[in-house]
Amino acid sequence: MLGSIELGGTKIICAVGYEDKIIERQRFDTKNPLDNIKEIQEFFKDRDVTSIGIGMFGPIDVDKDSKTYGYVLKTPKLKWQNFDFLGNLKKHLDAKMYFTTDVNEAAMGEYELGAGIGKKSLLYLTIGTGIGGGMIYNGEILQGVTHPEMGHIEVTREEGDDVKSNCAFHENCLEGLSNGPSIEKRTNKKGEDLDKDDKVFDLVSKYIAKALITYTLILRPEVIVLGGGVINKDGVIEKIRKHFVKLKTDYFDIDDVDSYIVKPKLSNNSGIIGGFVLANKLEK
């Protein structure tokens, strides 16, 4: 059996299964790293897994040649900063482990068993409290020196949009202008409490569409999968598609935008199933 862990900013999911079958799963709140490692260990210790795929909120060190491989890096979650997650987990669990970001894990799930079936390349983006992306190309996670930070690319502000960015580093990045909290900041309401036709969704969709144009020009994926809380709001993906078609001009062709920009086929399980896919790579 295969193991899978998805570590997000607020919750951690552990599961066992194979392919797209989740046999058992358990959810924990994200607290401090040592307590969470104990819970993870408890979950897996009586379940016979030989390999575990791990998707972790970033930034993390994914360079196997690095002295800090498996560490959490400069995260705003201070308890996790510079914590040797993989090393500590390995002390307590005897299994092979594939360590990558949460978005890369979800991207891999969608690539192998979801929206990417039959395709050679797929870009997965999560648009929620944070914005991040993972690109799978010919079955492999694309990462150079380290994993990408696609959510932090600059987008040009729309006239009159002078809200303060939600990113501590960038006044004009996609995450700072289009994540969940930016919607709240502009409207003083939670996204789920807003009318789906509130103009804030049009604005945010336009920023996301701008970023999708940039990703397309650089990566040319066969499909872009959008997950995360902002995308779950009724009508948002349609607004993104509409802006995308307008912004791309005649410069490049996309046969069918509805099948180019899609929601996850594995719904909320892209990450966990991606963990099985990654674990399975270690079995070979």
Which residues of this chain interact with a second copy, rule CB under 8 A? 120-121, 133, 137-138, 140, 142-150, 152-157, 169-170, 172, 210, 213-215, 217-222, 249-252
Nearest residue (CB) to a second copy, 249 versus 267: 249
CA angle 3, 86, 38 (to 5 degrees): 70
Nearest residue (CB) to a second copy, 6 versus 61: 61
β-pairing, 224-227 vs 121-127, is parallel
Q: How far is the CB of 188 from a second copy (least distance, A)?
A: 27
Q: How far is the CB of 86 from a second copy (least distance, A)?
A: 20
Nearest residue (CB) to a second copy, 144 versus 284: 144
Place of tokens 């192998």: 112
168 half-sphere exposure, CB direction, 13 A CA radius: 3
> Which is nearest to 225 in space by CA: 261, 174, 256?
261
d(CA 2, CA 279): 6
d(CA 58, CA 7): 10
**DSSP 3-state assignment of 154?**
strand
Q: How far is the CB of 146 from a second copy (least distance, A)?
A: 6
Nearest residue (CB) to a second copy, 132 versus 180: 132
Q: How far is the CB of 244 from a second copy (least distance, A)?
A: 13
d(CA 104, CA 72): 15
Q: How far is the CB of 154 from a second copy (least distance, A)?
A: 6
Nearest residue (CB) to a second copy, 55 versus 191: 55
